[in-house]
Structure 1
Amino acid sequence: MQNPFRSLLAGLVALGLALPGHAGTTLDVAAPFEIQSPEPSTTGHIFTRMGIAETLVDADPQGRLLPGLATGWSVSEDGLTWRFTLRENVLFHDGTPMTPATVAGALEIARGKPGPLASLPIAALTPEPGALVIALGEPVAALPAFLAEARAQILAPSAYGPDGQAVAVIGTGPYRVTSLTPPLSLRATAFPEYWGAQPNVPAVTYTAVGRAETRALMAESGDADFVFTLDPATVTRLSRSDAVEILSVAIPRSLLLKVNAAHPFLNSPEARRALSLAIDRAGLAQAVLRYPQGADQLFPPAMGDWHNPALDPLAHDPDAARALLAGLGWVPGPDGILSRDGQRLALTLTTYPDRPELPLVAAVLEQQFRAIGVELTINSTNSSEIPAGHQAGTLELGLLARNFALIPDPIGTILSDYAPGGDWGAMGWQNAEIAALAQALARGEGGDAERARIAAILQEQLPVIPIAWYQQTLAVRTGIEGAVIDPWERSFGLPGLRFAE
């Protein structure tokens, strides 16, 4: 009988996937994220996680800001002028020095592309001796946090073509790229002139592996040393293996249902609340996700001050859901699906398999929504279809994982999603009060009361419907020491890993 794993590996080789380099000198990472190009605006999160590129500002596991390529920063009394002191004696991987001018140039390019920097009221980026000065048109108290986001990474001038698109990844990190093969793989080696401590492992590889089962098999066989993002079934299986250690940590990410609030079936809070009441979050979290609990509000406890324990929790009550829909004029048809004015209550839910738990959750939602008379068709496709559907106005429901840690201060994501809604946030829904509160917080005005009010409005209006709070999982080969999970998902922590003696 043919060995199924050998057949699988043969298939991976045929697809061009980079397999291990091995034995004490190379550490192999497998994760679900494809390398679209050298461009930071599309793939920068991989380059920062792999320790290839760096940002001016860093963050610790609690989300507190730390020096990165900037050793410190200060702001004027009016909040309009920031000065970032730059680290000295930093070299890019092409051997050229990082200077205030190269930093300003990289950020100018970054803010001209999609990403958080594009939304900031930056009036000027001015290099000064040993520093970068950023002038704003209005105060942004969270500016240092925006500069910690992966798309604000600092690359060398030679990394960009004449049109400003990146043609190579030439960063400042502890690892430099030696081979980049989009969309599947990269190889990197320790950069001898790195400004900080040298990594313990001299070489690393990254392989994009979309199927969770394939990643799990690579972990079991030793063909990957560090496997990021596992589905619930493989976590259970790998937990029984002596070949790997499983790590898990709560992170500032929510599994949620994005709702087109302009859709005629979904344009009232009562309709959205009915969908919410149909969801058995506790059962879904424990049976499908293997998480300790479901989400009773949007912001998870890992978000600290944004989590509001005083909110009335989202509940599971199918009878109340049916009553709400009946009050909106929906009546059951012969097959149990509701109809109104000759139209069936039928919706399409779009999701993506990059995160293996999402199609599983979608299948459960299909059953739970049918129990209240809602017919759901599942469209499992590329994740890009959700923002595309948002822009086109064609998306009805989207099941997704929303990372509130893209920017270490969550206000950046709140502004993007709800003031007004961005591609991954509210759709067909605006709230002037939330917009004003979020903008005030971004200016450094307000605090816990304003955050609590934002959470309360989202709980009442449900422009998105929370389902679960994420646990990030990682499988590390036995014999690899020093592995930790960064709850803010900024780094794989590769420089701190080492092979056991």
Structure 2
Amino acid sequence: MTRHLWTATALAALLTALPAAAQELRIGLSDDADILDPAQSRTFVGRIVYAGLCDKLVDVDADVNFVPMLATDWSWSEDGLQLVMNLREGVVFHDGTPFDAAAVVANIERSMTLPESRRKSELSSVAGIEATGPMQVTFTLTAPDASLLAQLSDRAGMMVSPTAAEAAGADFGQNPVCSGPFKFVERIQQDRIVLEKFEDYYDADRINIQRVTYRPIPDTTVRLANLRSGELDIVERIAATDVASVRDDPNLQMQEAVGLGYMGIYANIANGERAQTPMGQDARVRQAFSLAIDREALNQVVFEGTARAGNQPFPPTSPWYNEDLPVPARDVEAARALLAEAGQDRVAVEIQHANTPVVTQMMQVIQAMVAEAGFDVSLRATEFATLLSEQTAGNFQLSRSDWSGRPDPDGNLHQFVTCEGGINDPKYCNPEVDRLLNEARALNDPAARKEKYDEAGVILNQDLPVIYLGHQTYIFALDQAVQGFTAFPDGMIRLQDVTLAE
């Protein structure tokens, strides 16, 4: 009898303790992440996962100011050719490898030399990095680079275990080992990514969640239904058409922040055989396509007025926006005239796009708009990671894709439109654009930098390797039990101080 009473008592105590010990946060993502290696990945949702998995040297705050993370402070030399960073002590990677200057050197060199790395162009100004103390590194640059801090606040600055990276090579993403608040548990493609709290995290007291599960659910309606049914706790990027119903739901809460990036259509200009089309070979055809789009109507019809119409890599609210290149009004007659000038009557073109309801709706609206100007558009919907793979391979004519944006203007341009840009999938190359963007990188004076971006923008507005459509607001819906979450302009889901009420 005593034994049974003890067992029941112990069981009751165990059950009482379980909710706190096994507290799980379930996050609905609009896509599945690509490879979980900061050196190789490129998806927006991958960066959301990294916010829990991989700490960076530098972070940004809610006002998009650079703030310390794994680097506690930094300073530039007077000539702008050296950046000295002091590092946080007491940090270890998930496999127990210590975080120190040698680890930072190994990470930066990996991003610069790994054949599969997509960070090379982001770090192209770095001539070298060395440990100038056990907890200090010094970057030496080939030329002043005002964008470097911004790069180190993103994937180029994410620190992975040198031990694990050396052992795994290009396969590191199958079992990523970082130094963030959560460590990797498992991944099932198209189903879930699971992380659990890293007890040796240097700031573990701010981490109240024991387990995080990220679920890719491209359909916004299904994603929101899962939140309402209690299967999810947070969903990112809800459809604008659902904003009113979320606000009116007493069981839900909503947060939003204007994004730093853009929505765009990439044109295959020189990336393989599929570039050999009127759209790829003649800028006048791309200009006609752009003029046939009513961007403000897209905002109203697809986004219920929550987005901003745009024609540049920076939103109209940005200090980097060129007011001398305003969003063009739709002009079907001018579009037809440009096609005629290019020797075209009607142009057939295929556009690939992500298979999400919002993007699909947007593309159907664009399909109807441009048809009036002489474009016969066929749409090819695909899963987002596949879309990016197809872009890289050149298996596209036009490709509709978003860029989440960066706090420094260089991050919205350089890697996309310079001749050797790391994610220049159109393979666009204009030496004058390269010159202007490289010179802008070397300037610390914002006014002088803006002049260079404005000049480059005029050229890009003519060449149109990317046809910009507008700028989204990041809208999050949350269960009322989620407390402590703050929406940031970069769209990331930071889990410090987040709790789940009973």
TM-score > 0.5 by shorter chain: yes
131, 138, 141: which one aligns with 1:136: 141
CA separation of 1:462/1:157 partners in 2, compared to 1, >3 Å: closer, same or farther?
Answer: closer
| Aligned-partner Cα distance in 2 for 1:176–1:67 | 21
CA displacement 1:89-108 (0-9 Å, x = unmatched): 11223344212112222232
Q: Is the 8 A contact 1:421 1:427 kept in 2?
A: no
| Aligned-partner Cα distance in 1 for 2:392–2:253 | 42
Aligned-pair CA distance for 1:320: 2.1
| Aligned-partner Cα distance in 2 for 1:101–1:147 | 16
Q: Is the 8 A contact 1:123 1:136 kept in 2?
A: yes
2:154 corresponds to 1:123:
no
2:263 corresponds to 1:265:
no
| Higher fraction of helix | 2
| More off after superposition, 396-405 vs 162-171 | 162-171
CA separation of 1:184/1:458 partners in 2, compared to 1, >3 Å: closer, same or farther?
Answer: same
CA displacement 1:47-71 (0-9 Å, x = unmatched): 422x221011111233221111011
CA separation of 1:161/1:181 partners in 2, compared to 1, >3 Å: closer, same or farther?
Answer: farther
| Aligned-partner Cα distance in 1 for 2:63–2:490 | 8
Partner of 2:418: 419
CA separation of 1:386/1:101 partners in 2, compared to 1, >3 Å: closer, same or farther?
Answer: same
CA displacement 1:246-266 (0-9 Å, x = unmatched): 222210121112223464423
| More off after superposition, 66-75 vs 421-430 | 421-430
Aligned-pair CA distance for 1:292: 4.1
Partner of 2:320: 306
Aligned-pair CA distance for 1:180: 4.3
CA displacement 1:240-288 (0-9 Å, x = unmatched): 4222122222101211122234644233333222111211212221111
Q: Is the 8 A contact 1:246 1:474 kept in 2?
A: yes
| Aligned-partner Cα distance in 1 for 2:201–2:161 | 14
- What is the number of residues matched between the two proteins? 464
Task: Letter of the 1:99 partner, please give it.
Answer: D
| Aligned-partner Cα distance in 2 for 1:102–1:429 | 35
Partner of 2:398: 397
Percent identity among equivalent residues? 25
CA separation of 1:312/1:47 partners in 2, compared to 1, >3 Å: closer, same or farther?
Answer: closer
CA separation of 1:288/1:36 partners in 2, compared to 1, >3 Å: closer, same or farther?
Answer: closer
Aligned-pair CA distance for 1:215: 1.1
Partner of 1:323: 337
Q: Is the 8 A contact 2:118 2:422 kept in 1?
A: no
456, 460, 463: which one aligns with 1:461: 463
| More off after superposition, 408-417 vs 168-177 | 168-177
Partner of 1:39: 37
Partner of 1:452: 454
Task: Letter of the 1:116 partner, please give it.
Answer: R
Partner of 2:3: none
Partner of 2:293: 279
CA displacement 1:458-486 (0-9 Å, x = unmatched): 23332222212111121100132222222
Q: What 5-or-longer segments of structure 2 have no aligned partner?
A: 1-17, 270-274
2:372 corresponds to 1:371:
yes
CA separation of 1:500/1:452 partners in 2, compared to 1, >3 Å: closer, same or farther?
Answer: same
2:361 corresponds to 1:348:
no
For residues 327-342 of structure 1, the aligned pairs below 5 Å read 327-331=341-345, 338=346
Partner of 2:184: 177
| Aligned-partner Cα distance in 2 for 1:499–1:386 | 35
CA separation of 1:94/1:330 partners in 2, compared to 1, >3 Å: closer, same or farther?
Answer: closer
CA displacement 1:100-159 (0-9 Å, x = unmatched): 112222232233242224551433332232211222333323222211112531122343
Q: Is the 8 A contact 1:411 1:442 kept in 2?
A: yes
Task: Letter of the 2:442 partner, please give it.
Answer: R
Partner of 2:26: 28
| Aligned-partner Cα distance in 2 for 1:22–1:360 | 41
Aligned-pair CA distance for 1:424: 5.1
CA separation of 1:93/1:460 partners in 2, compared to 1, >3 Å: closer, same or farther?
Answer: same
Q: What 5-or-longer segments of structure 1 have no aligned partner?
A: 1-20, 332-337, 339-344
2:225 corresponds to 1:217:
yes
Normalised to the residue count of structure 1, the TM-score between the two structures is 0.84
Structure 1 residue matching 2:476: 3-state secondary structure = strand
| Aligned-partner Cα distance in 1 for 2:372–2:168 | 53
Task: Letter of the 1:31 partner, please give it.
Answer: L
CA separation of 1:57/1:294 partners in 2, compared to 1, >3 Å: closer, same or farther?
Answer: closer
**CA RMSD, Structure 1 to Structure 2 (Å):** 2.8
Q: Is the 8 A contact 1:69 1:87 kept in 2?
A: yes
CA separation of 1:311/1:371 partners in 2, compared to 1, >3 Å: closer, same or farther?
Answer: same
Structure 2 residue matching 1:439: 3-state secondary structure = helix
| Aligned-partner Cα distance in 2 for 1:208–1:74 | 40
| More off after superposition, 103-112 vs 33-42 | 33-42
Task: Letter of the 2:408 partner, please give it.
Answer: D
CA separation of 1:268/1:65 partners in 2, compared to 1, >3 Å: closer, same or farther?
Answer: same
Aligned-pair CA distance for 1:221: 0.7
Partner of 1:9: none
2:303 corresponds to 1:289:
yes
| More off after superposition, 366-375 vs 169-178 | 169-178
